[in-house]
Amino acid sequence: MPARLTYLARRFDWMLVAAAVLLVAVGLATLFSITLNVEQPRIDKFYRQLVSCLIGLAVMVGAAVLDWRVLRSFAWVLYGLGLALLVGLLIIGTTLRGTTGWYSFFGSTFQPVELVKIILVIGLTRFFIDRVDQQMSWRVIGWSALIAGVPAALVLLQPDFGSATILVGLWLGLLLLNRIPFRRLAVLLLSMIVVGGMSWFGLRDYQRDRILTFVNPDRDPLRSGYNIRQAIVAVGSGQLFGRGLGLGTQSQLNFLPTQDTDFIFAVLAEELGFVGVLLLLALFTVFLWRLWLGVERTRDVFGSALLAGFVMLFAIEVFLNIGGNVGLLPITGTPLPFLSFGGSALISSLLTVGICMSVLARSSAAPVR
């Protein structure tokens, strides 16, 4: 191994990498367990996810070896590429489950919004760092809203309400990280509530049903309220130690819908119980904790802000997915990082880890321990 790679390897945060790899392993095990006791096992999704995992690990290593500072120079080029990918979906995109959010080629699909999430963090970080002396003026807030709002609007046209929520949440989170004054934040949130209330009439019927079902889960238990009721039953039936891998009745008997994507947390909770959930949350906690330690240790201002943005991205996705599974939040279709089935999401998550590793190895004050 060349001396440069050896130097970088010594400065990588291997605890961060271990937490990410263990989360991927848990996801693969949970995905495989769904097929164990069914009459006609279909493990093609497991093999596809395994291939995505191998590709994602290679991408992670490649991103870790490359110098992350090139991202700052090409932030707006990447942003333009992200917008082009989203616009292209409206013309030649493939529709799956009512959402035109994928490109299809050679029997495979690619969901660009997963890459756009990373690009938006990079673009907004570059924007705020370049204007740090303007102290979060209304002009800065307005332009940042436009930067986040354009891709969010394109995603809503697919329509993908969950991903659009994440993009808007990233923008708000980065405003907080850049210390937006409380009064301006209050005005901003009040304005968003008013706009949100007015946009109620522009929502599709199923989107309204999700919100109404969240407010009152018993309003339509056999239709709009079915998914969340079954997810809550699955989570509760796991009790302390769970029913065992492949033995969850909700997942094995197909009472639980989209169990490999939106509700994979409910599957894990049913099969591994409260103890398994605690272990999963512990892995996510370690992962986010190591990332946040990197924020504090990184000497480069842009690198530190970039890591903080990625912490925000992962935290939002985990919060929305698990919150939806246990009935604390409306179901948004947000994947659980590293666990949910989907090659685009998994590869993008591992790409993000690789970028973080590159930042930590090249910009931290000392080797991470």
pLDDT score, position 141: 93
The residues spanned by each domain of the chain are: 11-34+42-363
Cβ(268)–Cβ(251) below 8 Å: no
Rounded to an integer, what distance in angstroms lies between the CA atom of residue 91 and that of residue 127? 29
pLDDT score, position 259: 83
Rounded to an integer, what distance in angstroms lies between the CA atom of residue 351 and that of residue 345? 10
| The pLDDT of residue 47 is above 80 | yes
Cis peptide before 159 (omega within 30 of 0): yes
Note the pLDDT tens digit of each residue in 191-215. Answer: 888 877 776 666 666 667 666 666 6
Query: What's the DSSP call for residue 108?
Result: E
pLDDT score, position 3: 65
Rg (CA), the chain: 21
Nearest CA to 235 out of 220, 222, 221, 251 is that of 251
pLDDT score, position 363: 77
Write the burial class of residue 201 (CB in 10 Å: 0-12 exposed, 13-18 middle, 19+ buried): exposed
Note the pLDDT tens digit of each residue in 72-106. Answer: 999 999 999 999 999 999 999 898 878 899 999 88
Backbone angles phi, psi at 110, to 5 degrees: -135, 125
| The pLDDT of residue 367 is above 60 | no
| The pLDDT of residue 4 is above 70 | no
**Amino acid (1-letter code) at residue 256:** L
Cβ(213)–Cβ(220) below 8 Å: yes
| The pLDDT of residue 284 is above 80 | yes
Cβ(234)–Cβ(274) below 8 Å: no
Could you list the beta-strand ranges (E) of 136-280: none
**Amino acid (1-letter code) at residue 6:** T
Nearest CA to 120 out of 153, 89, 98, 96 is that of 153
pLDDT bracket for residue 122 (50, 70, 90): very high
pLDDT bracket for residue 217 (50, 70, 90): low
Give the number of other Cβ atoms within 10 Å of residue 317's Cβ. 24
Rounded to an integer, what distance in angstroms lies between the CA atom of residue 286 and that of residue 281? 9
pLDDT bracket for residue 236 (50, 70, 90): confident
Using alpha carbons, list the distances in angstroms from residue 141 to 184, 189, 318. Answer: 9, 12, 26
Cβ(56)–Cβ(344) below 8 Å: no
Using alpha carbons, list the distances in angstroms from residue 332 to 139, 208, 317, 369. Answer: 31, 12, 10, 37
102: three-class secondary structure by DSSP? strand
| Most confident option among 233-247, 273-287, 355-369 | 273-287
pLDDT score, position 86: 97
Look up the pTM and report it: 0.91
* Residue with more model confidence, 231 or 75: 75
Give the number of other Cβ atoms within 10 Å of residue 131's Cβ. 16
Note the pLDDT tens digit of each residue in 316-365. Answer: 999 999 998 988 888 888 899 999 999 999 999 999 999 999 999 887 65
Q: What is the mean pLDDT of residues 234-252?
A: 82
Rounded to an integer, what distance in angstroms lies between the CA atom of residue 31 and that of residue 26? 9
Note the pLDDT tens digit of each residue in 146-155. Answer: 999 999 999 9
Rounded to an integer, what distance in angstroms lies between the CA atom of residue 229 and that of residue 218? 9
Nearest CA to 120 out of 155, 158, 157, 69 is that of 155
pLDDT score, position 307: 96
Nearest CA to 250 out of 263, 261, 240, 241 is that of 263
* Residue with more model confidence, 242 or 122: 122
Q: What is the mean pLDDT of residues 212-233?
A: 68
pLDDT score, position 351: 97
pLDDT bracket for residue 39 (50, 70, 90): low
**Amino acid (1-letter code) at residue 242:** G
Alpha helices in 12-137, H assignment, sequence order: 14-33, 44-65, 70-73, 75-92, 113-130
Backbone angles phi, psi at 94, to 5 degrees: -100, 135
Backbone angles phi, psi at 135, to 5 degrees: 55, 45
pLDDT bracket for residue 44 (50, 70, 90): confident
Cβ(360)–Cβ(12) below 8 Å: yes
| The pLDDT of residue 108 is above 90 | no
Note the pLDDT tens digit of each residue in 169-178. Answer: 999 999 999 8
Nearest CA to 266 out of 217, 331, 196 is that of 331
pLDDT score, position 85: 96
pLDDT score, position 249: 77
Percent share of the chain, pLDDT over 90: 56
